[in-house]
Amino acid sequence: MIKMLPAIFFSLAITLTMYGLNSLAHAATTETKNIAGNIVGEGENKGKIQCPVMKTWFVPDEKTDKAVYEGKTYYFCCKGCKPMFEKEPEKYLK
């Protein structure tokens, strides 16, 4: 049980973030809303976030790569996306 605590806390943090209870939450739009840095899906993508590099929808877990840029945390769908984002973050945030 103790070994599972980090995973439980990470899942709780993601859940709270997705529901806008995190101080980093941003204003909603009609299609999606930004939480931290990633776009959070609605409809068929509900419960998923969008990778800023590949634009794919995925469910983050405790192993998900992440990076902080301008005070926002961005999560990535795979290990290859993080270094690409860190090299040219503005390219992927358009």
Q: Which two tokens stand for residue 75?
A: 């999560």
- How would residue 11 be classed by pLDDT, with cut points 50, 70 and 90? low
CA distance 80 to 27: 29
- Domain tally for the chain? 1
Condensed to tens digits (0 to 9), the pLDDT of residues 49-83 reads: 999 999 999 999 999 999 999 999 999 999 999 99
Q: Which domain holds residue 70?
A: 2-92
CA distance 55 to 33: 15
User: At residue 19, does pLDDT exceed 70?
Assistant: no
Helix (H) or strand (E) run with residue 65 in it: none
Give the pLDDT mean for 13-31.
42
